[in-house]
Amino acid sequence: MKKILVIGDSNFTKVVIDIIDDEGEFEIFGIIDCFNVGKEYLDHNVVGTKADIPGIIKENNIYGGVLAIDNNWMRKEVYDKVLAICGDFNFITSIHPTAIIGKNVIIGRGSILMAGVVVNSDSVIGDFCLLKMQSSLGHEGIMEDYSSLSFGVITGGNLKLGTFSKISFCTSVIENIKIGAHTFVGAGSLVLKNIPSLSVVFGVPAENIRKRKKDEEHFSEGHQLTIPIN
pLDDT < 70 positions in the chain: 36-38, 213-230
Give residue limits of the domains in the chain.
Answer: 2-85, 94-225
Q: What CATH number matches the domain at 2-85, 1.20.140.10, 2.40.30.20, 3.40.640.10, 3.40.50.20?
A: 3.40.50.20
**In the prediction, which pLDDT does 203 show?**
95
Judge if 2-85 and 94-225 fold alike in CATH terms.
Answer: no
Contact 198, 214 (CB under 8 A): yes
Domain 94-225 has CATH 2.160.10.10: yes
Q: Write down the pLDDT at residue 9.
A: 75
Which of 4, 8, 53, 59 lies closest to 26, judged by CA? Answer: 4
- pLDDT tens across 109-125, in order? 999 999 999 999 999 99
